[in-house]
Amino acid sequence: MIAWTDRHCRHFHRQLSRRARLYTEMITTGALIHGPRERLLAFDPVEHPVAIQLGGCDPADLARCARMAERAGYDEINLNCGCPSERVQRGAFGACLMAEPALVADCVRAMRDAVSVPVTVKHRIGLDRNEDYGFVRDFVGELTLAGCELFIVHARNAWLKGLNPKENRDIPPLRYEVVRRLVRDFPDRRFVLNGGIRSHDEALRLLEEPAPGALAGVMLGREAYGNPWMLVEVDTLYFGQAPTVGSREPVVDAMRAYVRREAAAGTEPRAIIRHMLGLFNGLPGARRWRRMLSDPAALAREGERIIDTALETLARPREPAAAAL
């Protein structure tokens, strides 16, 4: 979710659910050590519970960055072993790390020794066209010995050659049964299922397999980004609590105030508003809402006021088409 789940996106999503755990986009160790550290680590306290996802392969660098993240207040440190992009491969991290389980185990040990918050790993179920279950079983086994207690498993292989990241999210087949086998083989570890989940009905069904409570949870990525209103059901369906909001209006009010506050600090309104495009998906006028909020000229002209302009457009009934003469 690089360039998607930044701090503005997470602030928006937190308006929809109090309980969903939010994850940052992947941040590389090099960027944290040599780049704008404070900006990269920044988040609003309202985002809790929030986890930082790190990309890297050097145990000492990962331990150093994990300490930075803990000091910044993050609730979890997650190591990315699932991203298949060529750029990430050139940095020798992401999904290609699955081929080096001993190195990943050293990274996990180093981070666990450095921080007191949980250290977790996100990974795929295999590399390229190798669908041997033993590969991912041994990977998880090595990390279990290193003390990793929670695994977020994208239930597809990562094809490191021949597919781009988008194709890697669709073409390698989903194999949920592999995650179920991991649950059975490692009963003292927790597993979160990721990949291809499009609805709460599907997520809840998967949580019942192989047995109720066997999975620690599910992770939603692009579906939740594209259809953010689905997050409003999380607190009720998964935690048995009242929803955070009952309508979209309080969300818009909260984000309007947030955009105004951030704009006063120098943030371009577009950097925040772009995450709100899907808020009204499925409702009449949603297309007009998206078009208005993504119009560069209108954004430059109106700034944060564009939210109210788009709301007026959303509420305005569509004029009937002119009759042909």
3-state DSSP assignment of residue 6: coil
> Could you say which of 57, 65, 81, 83 is catalytic?
83
Task: State the Cα–Cα distance between residues 108 and 150, nearest whole angstrom.
Answer: 12
Q: Which residues contact 131 (CB under 8 A, 6 or more apart)?
A: 157, 175
Provide the token pair at 299.
Answer: 């954004």
In the DSSP assignment, the letter for residue 46 is G
Burial code (b: 16+ CB inside 10 Å, e: under 16) for 173-208 equals ebbbebbbbbbeebeebbbbbbbbbeebeebeebbe
User: What are the Cα distances from residue 102, in Å, to 64, 131, 160, 211?
Assistant: 19, 20, 20, 31
Amino acid at 268: E
Task: State the Cα–Cα distance between residues 237 and 218, nearest whole angstrom.
Answer: 12
Provide the token pair at 183.
Answer: 């649950």
Catalytic status, residue 83: yes
178 in Cβ contact with 154 (< 8 Å): no
118 in Cβ contact with 105 (< 8 Å): no
- Residues belonging to the active site: 83
